[in-house]
Amino acid sequence: MNNPVNHFENDLLAALSSENKHISPKYFYDANGSALFDQICDLPEYYPTKTELSILSHHSGAMAQHMGPHAELIELGAGALTKVRLLLRQLDSPTSFLPMDISGDHLTAAARDLQREFPQLAVSPIVADYTHDWSLPLPHKATQRRIAFFPGSTIGNFLPTEVDSFFANCAKHLPAGGLLLGVDLLKPPQIIHQAYNDAQGITAAFNSNLLTRANRELNANFDVSQFAHWAFYNAPQHRVEMHLVSLKKQEVVLKNQSFVFEEGETLHTENSYKYSIDKIQDIAEKQGLKSGPVWTDPNRWFGLLWFDIPDFETA
């Protein structure tokens, strides 16, 4: 089995060695980072979670109809398993639920709670990085269709080439299945800015936790107090950028290698792209998926998009 610590170490070394230091946001999600993100989801400024929950509460019945009876549901980046409950209550005799997440302890605890609520459902958590590893078990014998549920705005964290790969993986691993995808839509920039710069500083703590994690797991020596949270909306790129800014010239040591941050230099920790509905549908269709219904809130701030996945082997 691959060692996630080694992946973190290798990717952080690569980031620190680059002229433009940039690391994947997946490394936010150790146990503490996952807990901080759960707090972010409850913040008044953070619209995605509450908006998506509202859409699900109004339309989960229609979504379940598209999934059909005896479906096996796979949630990617499962987190706290809050949203999926609204779907599971509407599904017709689902055969099993496979929540997948990179944060093992957080996932195990959430799956245990879900199993208590749905005692007849086969719940099988998978600790894996779905951006690379789509090693799914064989479907439950009674399964008629496999459905991927990818809520939140995580698709926005992917670079454009990674979005292509994600849809290609759905087409490859879910033949004759479906995808229910959460997408953060284009909206006034001030709404987006506030969501990533909350008054309580929870997002700042979430961002800097990456450095705390590196110190703990990799024996790095980041002075966390000398890095500041910086998030802004890059309008021409339609994306939020989140950075950790060095407040002074300083040296960081990792694996006996020394790296210098100049004052004002940043470690780029996250992108969060915002999409139009037409744009994300076009990208998915180029990988063979077929666009279906779209459910949004009255402000059209967020969307849940349905895609059918053909069985390419029999098509």
The reply to whether 314 falls in a domain is: no
Residues 167 and 293 in one domain: yes
- Does 172 reside within a domain? yes
pTM equals 0.91
| Model pLDDT, residue 2 | 55
Residues 77, 103 within the same domain: yes
The alpha carbon dihedral of 236, 237, 238, 239 has a sign of: negative
How do residues 273-286 score in pLDDT, each as one tens digit? 999 999 999 999 99
Both structure tokens of 200? 């309580």
Residue 269 lies in a domain: yes
**152 and 86 housed in the same domain:** yes
pLDDT of residue 314: 57
> Which residues contact residue 51 at a Cβ distance below 8 angstroms, ignoring those fewer than 6 apart?
297, 299, 301, 302
Whether residues 105 and 74 share a domain: the answer is yes
Within the chain, which residues score under 70 in pLDDT? 1-4, 313-315
C-alpha to C-alpha distance for 299 and 283, rounded to whole angstroms: 23
The answer to whether residue 313 is domain-embedded is no
pLDDT in tens, 231-254: 999 999 999 999 999 999 999 999
What single string gives the DSSP state of each residue in 195-254?
HTS-TT-HHHHHHHHHHHHHHHHH-----GGGEEEEEEEEGGGTEEEEEEEESS-EEEEE
Token digits of residue 38: 């759960």
Range of the domain at 111: 47-187+274-308
SS3 content of the chain, % helix, strand, coil (to 5): 40, 25, 35
Which DSSP category does 303 fall into? E
How far, in Å, CA of 129 to CA of 104, rounded?
10
CA 271 to chain centre: 11
pLDDT confidence of residue 52: 97
DSSP helix/strand/coil, 104: helix
DSSP secondary structure letters along 268-294: EEEEEE-B-HHHHHHHHHHTT-EEEEE
CATH of residue 169's domain is 3.40.50.150
The secondary structure of residue 138, as a DSSP letter, is P
